[in-house]
Amino acid sequence: MNLLSQPSLEHIPAPPADGRLRFFEDLGAAAAVIPTDRRSNHAPSILSLGDGGLLTAWFGGSDEGNRDIDILVSRFDANTGTWSTSESVTNDEIRSDQNPGLFEAFDGSVWLVYTSQLSRQSGVHETFNLQHTSVVKVIRSTDGGVSWSEPEMLFDREGTFCRQPIQVLSDGKWTHTQWLCFDDDSKNGSDQPVVQISEDRGATWRQIEFPSAAGRVHPNIVELDPGRLVSLFRSRFADWVYLSRSEDGGETWSVPEATEVPNNNAGLSAFRLPSGMLALVSNEHQVVQGPGEVIWPYERMRLVIAVSNDEGRTWPVRRVIEPGDGFCGEGNLRSNRRQEYPHGIVDADGLIHVVYAYSSRRAIRHIVFEEAWISGVEDQVHTDCKLWG
């Protein structure tokens, strides 16, 4: 009998999906796996509420695009340190509800904005996918996510897709970033990113296009100073994260340019840290080093947070948030389970929260850390180590 088959050898399960937030000493951060009864769980969003609570939402069901895909929510109880079991808050019989974004409005109500596309079903012709049939809907809660209103149409143009929540700029304008999908043979390479702007708290919206930006999607707007914005994009071409700038509050934008951060045509999240520096959470994997044909790599292996102190021009500080399984070498990459679609925020205490689809969408994982954790500790190598001294 070898060592691994000894009866006395204790077998430890994977981190339990019980919703309990635990601090891991070796990691230096806290993490939880949020409980769910769905086979596939994807595209989470997290919100820090004004009363100090946390709320997260994602879509779950059998598989992305199917009719049983609904929006799920979970609430964090700070007294017990535990996330609640997920509950479905949408249930459309013919549509697949996806990509929720959570936003707390000025009156304390929570807006859950999401895409709703025709699901795979008899009589509906599908080429690459059905994102060109999507509209954007909203449900609202006035009790911190305990109960929700019936769905309402927010953007009725077919082909409208979104990922990020509504944001409020320093001048009071609301912004909502989207991309427009078309029924063509580009495999979503023709997707056009736009930003919707509202000056009446969401009652009406007007659309601004990002120039020469087809195939750059998931626009993440971050306000650097009043009126000065950047937007970071996922690339359909699996090459780099792209960045565009606005100096007039989002009315006009520069042509998106490649950053030094690799992208694998997968979701990302950008936000400002308590220090004011720019943070980006993404997979940091690429297939090519320049735009060409649309590429959809399977590999979404590990999640990395990168920090820029020069408004996105360079990203010198990086740390792995989720290392994944660790298989390496080109022939082994697909052995890694997917860790994907992060969303990050900073709460009122300056703590950073990131949620993501965990272990090939088995569940949603939540991790919490301080900004200092990203750059690590001083004296990582002891000063008397002659090799490195």
End-to-end CA gap in the chain: 46
Dihedral pair phi/psi, residue 79, rounded to 5°: -70, -35
- Residue 387, pLDDT > 90, answer no
- Residue 12, pLDDT > 60, answer yes
CA dist 272 and 92 (Å) reads: 36
Q: What is the pTM of this model?
A: 0.95
Confidence of residue 378 (pLDDT cuts 50, 70, 90): low
- Residue 84, pLDDT > 60, answer yes
CA dist 381 and 71 (Å) reads: 46
Closest CA relative to residue 371, chosen from 48, 28, 32, 49:
28
Is 119 exposed, middle or buried (CB count within 10 Å of its CB: 0-12, 13-18, 19+)? buried
- Residue 127, pLDDT > 80, answer yes
Collapse the DSSP code of 373 into the 3-class scheme (helix H, G, I; strand E, B; otherwise coil) and give the result: helix
Q: Are 376 and 37 in contact (CB under 8 A)?
A: no
Q: Alpha-carbon Rg of the chain, whole angstroms? A: 21
- pLDDT tens-digit series, residues 24-75: 998 899 999 999 999 999 999 999 998 888 999 999 999 999 999 999 999 9
Percent with pLDDT over 70 in the chain: 96
- Residue 248, pLDDT > 90, answer yes
What domains, with CATH codes, occur in the chain?
A: 30-366 (2.120.10.10)
- Residue 77, pLDDT > 90, answer yes
**Comparing 6-20, 44-58, 83-97, 331-345, which segment has the lowest mean pLDDT?**
6-20
- pLDDT tens-digit series, residues 155-181: 999 999 999 999 999 999 999 999 999
Q: Give mean pLDDT, residues 322-336.
A: 92
**pLDDT top residue among 82 and 15:** 82
- pLDDT tens-digit series, residues 152-162: 999 999 999 99
Q: Are 217 and 192 in contact (CB under 8 A)?
A: no
Could you tell me if residue 162 is left (phi over 0), alpha (psi between -120 and 50 degrees) or otherwise beta?
Answer: beta
- Residue 262, pLDDT > 70, answer yes
Strand partners, 58: 72
- Quote the tokens at residue 326: 């660790």
Q: What is the pLDDT of residue 58?
A: 98
- Residue 379, pLDDT > 60, answer no
**pLDDT top residue among 122 and 327:** 327
Confidence of residue 1 (pLDDT cuts 50, 70, 90): low
Q: What is the pLDDT of residue 126?
A: 84
Could you tell me if residue 79 is left (phi over 0), alpha (psi between -120 and 50 degrees) or otherwise beta?
Answer: alpha
The single-letter DSSP state of residue 20 is B
**pLDDT top residue among 120 and 151:** 151
- Residue 122, pLDDT > 90, answer no
Which strand (E) or helix (H) includes residue 374? helix 372-375
